[in-house]
Amino acid sequence: MDIIASSMALPSLQPRNTNLSKVSIFQRLTPPTTLIPSWACSSKPNNSTTLSPISSKFPSFLRCSTKPDTSANSETQHTNNPNNEQPNSISNSQNAPQSSDSSSSEAFSSSPPPLGSSHSSSSRGLVLDLGPSNSWDSADIGSPVVKRFLSDEEERWYMWYHGRAKGYPSSDLIGLAVSKNGVHWERGGGPARSSSDVGFVISCGKDWWGFDTGGIRPSEMVIMSSSRVRASSAVYWLYYTGFVSERMEFSDHSLEFSVENPDGMINDGVSCGNGNGKGKVLKSLPGLAISQDGRHWARIEGEHHSGALIDVGSEKEWDSLFISSPQVVFHGNGDLRMYYHSFDVERGHFGVGIARSRDGIRWVKLGKIMGGGKVGSFDEFGVMNPCVTRNRSGGNYVMTYEGVAADGRRSIGLAVSPDGLKEWARRQDEAILKPSDQGCWDDKDVGSPCLVEMDTEGDEWRLYYRGVGNGGRVGIGMAISEGRDIGSFRRWTGFHV
């Protein structure tokens, strides 16, 4: 099977449950046999009563453009709504409050969030704040996966990110926000109901045997295609981290910080970490979901009995504790690379490893490629949350990552590789983005980087990230490079003419 990363039509998708309801969030599918070989299928209990359908009509041939629906009509539905019939669209720039019209989202309100001015020094770089008080992303946000789509008519940006509500639901959701410039984002307070809507788009799995019943966070979006199908038909492949409630026993008293998975997990307003190397370490594994519009999703079953793509390593292996942040890069036909992180118990640091695949579903691990940095460095206790991209101008591979210092402080670092495999080298000893000065919204930690290569005049790079403040504030920020120099980034302060 020849697949390329640009656009894709995925034939013969058959959901298990044919009783499809009107509102959809997430559906579990067995692998389509016309695209995915039989070895990717595994026998699972068929608990169809817990499934959320993918759509009211799921065609045997999925078709969508390489860009989610961005027609003028769909935008009008979001911004011009005098009767509040499309309630869960919120623009940070307009702050238009709306109300809910669905029983599935009655718990979510859409009052405007408190977003600081981009010109305020304390809010420098902040592009997406917490959602309104009763929205799905009012308690926590992060894990930004940002994609830019260009056409002859317009420029559109899409951000998939995780969020959590205050009290309900208690686990992560994945949502979608859209933008015309990558700075001012339109978001939703409840579920995205149509192919032109915004809001949360994926919830946790409901199957008792699944690997993602306790939490879910996005890692990478890959646009895939088949050489046998016209390029205007696309399917979006979302690689994500799924969590279960199973707590992994771990304690390392030599560490000055808490090891947590998922990182920064907060329950009832109390951090799960308690210092001395302890914390709430939940088992996590990588998963895959597909979509024709970026909003309505269906799981693809992996080889693992839980539906995950790969399992943790054996007891003495570096990734025996968990596997998180599967970030997938297309290298060529029949060659996909997955970068992920875990905590190496034997060495006492976070590390990044790599796996390869011919079809994006069955993976073979190649081992750890990066670990802890120099003594006293910003990443002395390891690297995590990698974001790898292929440099269009140089052809080499660039990895931005979250570095963990000896005291647990997080900064963003940079590494490069000529082929994207094992020859990774830190480009510099210093972080390319550190926490801000005291008093700013992100003065404690910065991490979960997402690097976007621009093709505008100046050829700058954009770096989206999750920021955490000492006061507990969290948000998603953006920094830009000094031209092509990816070793130097500054937080966004406004457009310059």
Q: Is the residue at 440 inside a domain?
A: yes
pLDDT for residue 38: 27
More confident residue, 367 or 51: 367
Token pair belonging to 370 = 């990066």
Is 496 domain-assigned? no
Query: Does the residue 56 lie in any domain?
Result: yes
Report which DSSP code applies to 347: T
Predicted pLDDT at 28: 58
Neighbours of 279 (CB within 10 A): 23
What is the torsion angle, in degrees rounded to the nearest 10, for the CA atoms of residue 130, residue 470, residue 343 and residue 290?
10
Q: Residue 237 domain-assigned? A: yes
pLDDT above 70: residue 457: no
CATH code of residue 343: 2.115.10.20
For residues 162 and 159, what is the distance between their CA atoms, to the nearest angstrom? 10
- Tell me the C-alpha distance between 270 and 263, whole Å: 13
Under DSSP, is residue 38 helix (H, G, I), strand (E, B) or coil? Answer: helix
In a domain, 497, yes or no: no
Q: Does residue 360 fall inside a structural domain?
A: yes
At 315-372, the pLDDT tens digits run 889 999 999 999 999 887 788 999 999 999 999 999 999 999 999 999 999 999 999 9
Residue 478 lies in a domain: yes
DSSP 8-state class, residue 438: T
Q: How far apart are CA 61 and CA 228, in angstroms?
A: 13
State how many domains the chain has.
Answer: 1
Instruction: Convert the pLDDT of each residue in 80-123 to its tens digit.
Output: 333 333 334 455 543 333 333 333 344 554 444 444 444 477 89
Tell me how far apart the alpha carbons of residues 376 and 366 are, in angstroms, rounded to a whole number.
Answer: 29
Q: 167-171, 240-244, 424-428, 492-496: which has the minimum mean pLDDT? A: 167-171
Q: State pTM to two decimals.
A: 0.80
Is residue 3 over pLDDT 60?
A: no
Domain ranges, residue 239? 3-491
Summarised one tens digit per residue, pLDDT across range 369-424 is 999 999 999 999 999 999 999 887 777 899 999 999 999 999 999 999 999 998 89
- The answer to whether position 20 is within a domain reads yes
